[in-house]
Amino acid sequence: MKKTLRIAIQKSGRLSEQSVKLINECGIHFNNGKSRLKAVSYNFPAEFLFLRDDDIPGYVEDGVADLGIVGENEMVEKAKDVLLIKRLGFSKCRLSLAIPRDKAYTEPSYFQAKNIATSYPRILHQFLKEKQISAHIHEISGSVEIAPSIGLADAVCDIVSSGSTLLSNGLKEVETIFRSEAVLLGNHQASEEKKDLIDQLVFRINSVQAGKGNKYILLNAPKDATEAIVNLLPGMRSPTIVPLAMSGWNSIHSVVQEDQFWEVIEKLREAGAEGILVVPIEKMIL
């Protein structure tokens, strides 16, 4: 019987949407209608479980799921025996300490003997221990930002993306204690057959990620300007040069990072480049 990978994904929210988008970009498709908790791919041996984010590390540790996509903050907070296979580069955020806006702040010693509300007591405890600060940690599961306004705590420690939620609750961010992004977790006891499937999936993810932020550049240039343009547009090894039907002209093809391209575009034009095309790359095999 052919093995199937079980992959746990957060059932809702931005991380869930971006996880599904990544899987689809890897050429793996499935139907996951609203409120469905399980879906099966029809073109790759994989089954998807849609779970609460804080349950995913435990499911992977227990072997119920072979893989999980979750925020690194949840992986560290739950401290389960799982394998960090790959950081995925999306859903980036930070775990920060915040205090009321009208309070003055200079350094972490501010939190000495303070009451801090958080959903991440393990990560917060480690930070306080490293700073040799003794504070009282109040673990709550949600609505952390309102804790100071109702007298539950002097400060909060919570996930921050834009900071707008803190501002709307009269708080200001003062210390970042952990930076997080989506990660791919694995079970240590995966069979050889499942390891092969995991390698296939990781290969696809790498190809998708390599394509992001890179552009395929095509341009025309006089032959006597080709060397100067090639020096401005290094490819993965070197640009491709193809003679045009028009005598004395070449077509130059290269792959460059988008930021790098914008730095040299004017230099390319000054060197004689014409008809410059910039094409997005869906996947890139290195």
Q: What is the pLDDT of residue 238?
A: 77
| Out of 47-56, 114-123, 262-271, least confident range | 262-271
Domain boundaries, the chain: 5-90+181-210, 93-180, 214-280
For tokens 């139907």, the residue is 31
Mean pLDDT of 57-82: 97
Structure confidence at residue 161 (pLDDT): 83
Q: Which fold has domain 5-90+181-210?
A: D-Maltodextrin-Binding Protein; domain 2 (3.40.190)
Q: Which CATH architecture describes the domain 214-280? A: 2-Layer Sandwich (3.30)
Quote the pLDDT of residue 36. Answer: 77
Residue 212: strand, helix, or coil: coil
Rounded-to-integer distance, Cα 114 and Cα 95, Å: 18
pLDDT, tens only, 210-240? 888 788 889 999 999 999 988 888 656 678 8
Q: What is the pTM of this model?
A: 0.84
The confidence band for 286, taking pLDDT boundaries of 50, 70 and 90, is confident
Q: What angle do CA 233, 235, 240 make, to 5 degrees?
A: 90
Instruction: Please write the tens of the pLDDT for every residue from 155-167.
Output: 999 999 877 889 8
SS3 of 24-92? HHCCCCECCCCCCCEEEECCCCEEEEEECHHHHHHHHHHCCCCEEEEEHHHHHHHCCCCEEEEECCCCC
Q: Which residues contact 55 (CB under 8 A, 6 or more apart)?
A: none
Pick 264 or 227 by higher pLDDT: 227
CA distance to 29, 69, 79, per residue, from 60 (Å)? 22, 10, 12
Instruction: List the beta bridge partners of residue 173.
Output: 98
User: DSSP states of 76-140 as a string?
Assistant: HHHT-S-EEEEE-S-S-EEEEEEEETTS---SGGGGTT-EEEES-HHHHHHHHHHTT---EEEE-
Pairing assessment for the beta strands 93-100 and 182-186 based on DSSP bridges: unpaired
Q: Is residue 251 exposed (0-12), middle (13-18) or buried (19+ Cβ within 10 Å)?
A: middle
Mean per-residue pLDDT for 240-254? 92
Higher-confidence residue of 80 and 164: namely 80
Residue 258 has pLDDT above 90, yes or no: no
Predicted pLDDT at 163: 78
Task: Please state the separation of Cα 284 from the chain's center in Å.
Answer: 18
In the chain, pLDDT over 70 holds for what percent of residues? 97
| Predicted pLDDT of residue 34 | 64
Residue 1 three-state SS = coil
Fold: same for 5-90+181-210 and 93-180? yes
Pairing of strands 67-71, 182-186: antiparallel
Question: In the CATH hierarchy, which top-level class contains the domain 93-180?
Answer: alpha beta
Model pLDDT, residue 26: 95
